[in-house]
Structure 1
Amino acid sequence: MIYMLREPVVAGMFYERDAPALKKHISKYIIQKQEKYKSKAVVVPHAGYIYSGRVAGEVYSSIEIPDLIIILGPNHTGAGKPISVMTEGIWRTPFGDVKINEPLANEIIKKCSAASKDDRAHLKEHSVEVQLPFLQYIKKSFSFIPVVLGDYNINNLQIFAGALAQIFKEKDVLIVASTDLTHYEDADSAKEKDTLVLKAIEKLDEEEMIKQVEDKDISMCGWMPTYVAIRAAKLLGATKGIIIKYMNSGDASGDYSQVVGYGGAAII
């Protein structure tokens, strides 16, 4: 059988193209923890690893990673459908190939009228791709379902979250919401705004999160993935959010005048 192969588009930019160098880089961010959360979902940033890798690494170090993962990313390119599910193929990274779970991806299309089978939104989108090397570093074998969200219709996001909960209620699955927080404000302003978002995530209040994003004009690129992840996780039995780490790009660059905020959370 011939599978569609998605080659990495930000290897050599967001993270190393060379596998040994990438492994060495990620190893700096992985923490050995005795106890790990059994999470329904996580919130993880998606910038270049030198900026957001420490947050991503601590999140992934803090949780059990199952054999099945759904990665929800925002649509930065504008290509494809509003709720775009890639239902077949293989994604390649410097660490090797990861196969899409085709039966379950197609089940989403079958049971959710708001979702579309679509590859275009995924071909140049980095927000899903950058999660894979971290997951591969920790867990050698898993299947995943990539989803890119660009649907501003809250009702559709609710329908999609409900469909995920229905399909995966009997399965051991992790939902990854890929998002950065405030973009290009000074560090103090970013932290003030991002704290409002993180408090809403901690309370598992996705409606409050959206209200803060709108009222305070918070430039959180992945509010849709985070909204869906919180809502689906609650339907799957999650009862609380745990904020694991917060940093900004200035912590790496030394420039705090215009930063991007990065928050990591586990939803358990």
Structure 2
Amino acid sequence: MIRYPAVAGQFYPTGDELIEMLERFFSDLSEEGSERRITAGVAPHAGYIFSGYTASRTYKAIYEDGLPETFVILGPNHTGMGSPIAVYPEGEWETPLGRVKVDSEIAKAIVELSNIADLDDLAHRYEHSIEVQLPFLQYLAELAGKDFTIVPITLGIQDEDVAETLGKAIYEASQSLGRDVVVIASTDFMHYGYFYGYVPFTGRAEELPNMVKEWDMRVIRRILDFDVKGMFEEIRAMNHTMCGPGGVGVGIVYSKLMDAVEAELLHYTTSFEVSRSTDAIVGYASIVMRR
């Protein structure tokens, strides 16, 4: 079974343009490391012109720390299709940079151990949040001369219980199968502006990114403290529109079980830096967690 690209040429370019963009993003890349301290990362999933550089900071850190053999990548289900907690079962995912194998063994183990997820490909068919992460990994794996596998998981249900259950299941599956795993949580942060249902912004346009950043930092501080409950409390208190908190929660739970001791915000920006529009502004953050 092959999952063909759904948003190539839309969210990210194809051909030489894609390679050239990735080369620019990683122009400051150092040699691949071997420490393997990183347990999880957070990366945005908007169009590369808006959030690609921010996402690249997560993957740069992972590369310089040492690439694992398997990435469990969690993204929100924007389409509403398929199972509310959908683990892609088997086969390969294709992007303009080639194909990546799905680790079907660990995918099945996560479903069995969690008792809340389903093996389901329908939820992934048109979803962009996981697909846009793959070219970063493919580019870096090619540089390193390594192969890697993935376990894509979309979440239509996102809360503390799902995060706790899935994070624990991923940890237990990786331990029982002897897999070296890094969890990637694909998420954008605050979605604000008229386009997202808010009243038109009447202040100075330059003030809006700082407002969005303040709201995002309230959530990000909880993430840096490995505080899943606190993260969801902040989201509910502010009616915050972060789209992938469940995946971030999974990354935190998994990291704590892997004895992670620190988390770092590597980069933050908003779409305003590119669009200059107050009708729709989205926050983007790059975060890694380390043992």
Please name the residue that 2:201 is paired with.
none
Q: Name whichever of 124-133 and 200-209 sits farther off.
A: 200-209
Highest CA radius of gyration, 1 or 2? 2
CA RMSD, aligned part only?
1.6
| 1:256 to partner: Cα distance | 5.1
- Asked if structure 2 preserves the Cα contact closer than 8 Å seen for 1:109 and 1:116, the reply is yes
Mapped pair 1:160 → 2:182: no
The separation in 2 between residues aligned to 1:52 and 1:232, in whole angstroms, is: 25
Q: After TM superposition, where is structure 1 displaced by more than 6 Å over at least 4 residues in a row? A: none
Please name the residue that 2:25 is paired with.
29
Please name the residue that 2:71 is paired with.
69
The separation in 1 between residues aligned to 2:189 and 2:125, in whole angstroms, is: 23
- Asked if structure 2 preserves the Cα contact closer than 8 Å seen for 1:151 and 1:157, the reply is no
SS in 2 for 1:78: coil
Structure 1: runs of 5+ lacking an equivalent: none
| 1:171 to partner: Cα distance | 2.9
Please name the residue that 1:6 is paired with.
3
One-letter code of the match for 2:185? A
Please name the residue that 1:213 is paired with.
235
Please name the residue that 2:281 is paired with.
259
One-letter code of the match for 2:157? D
| 1:152 to partner: Cα distance | 3.9
The separation in 2 between residues aligned to 1:194 and 1:221, in whole angstroms, is: 12
Please name the residue that 2:95 is paired with.
93
The separation in 1 between residues aligned to 2:159 and 2:30, in whole angstroms, is: 39
Q: Deviations over 1:57-94 (max 9, x none)?
A: 11111123212111000110111112100111111000
Please report the TM-score for the alignment, with normalisation by the length of structure 2: 0.87
The separation in 2 between residues aligned to 1:41 and 1:33, in whole angstroms, is: 20
Mapped pair 1:137 → 2:139: yes
| 1:150 to partner: Cα distance | 1.2
Please name the residue that 2:13 is paired with.
16
Question: Alpha carbons of 1:153 and 1:258: their partners in 2 closer, same or farther (altered >3 Å)?
Answer: closer
Q: Deviations over 1:144-164 (max 9, x none)?
A: 100001114532332111111
SS in 2 for 1:65: coil
Q: 2:223 aligns with which of 201, 212, 215?
A: 201
One-letter code of the match for 2:152? P
The separation in 1 between residues aligned to 2:61 and 2:44, in whole angstroms, is: 15
One-letter code of the match for 1:190? V
- How many pairs align? 264
The separation in 2 between residues aligned to 1:65 and 1:243, in whole angstroms, is: 19
Q: Deviations over 1:202-230 (max 9, x none)?
A: 11111111111110111000011111111
Please name the residue that 2:42 is paired with.
43
Percentage of identical aligned residues: 37
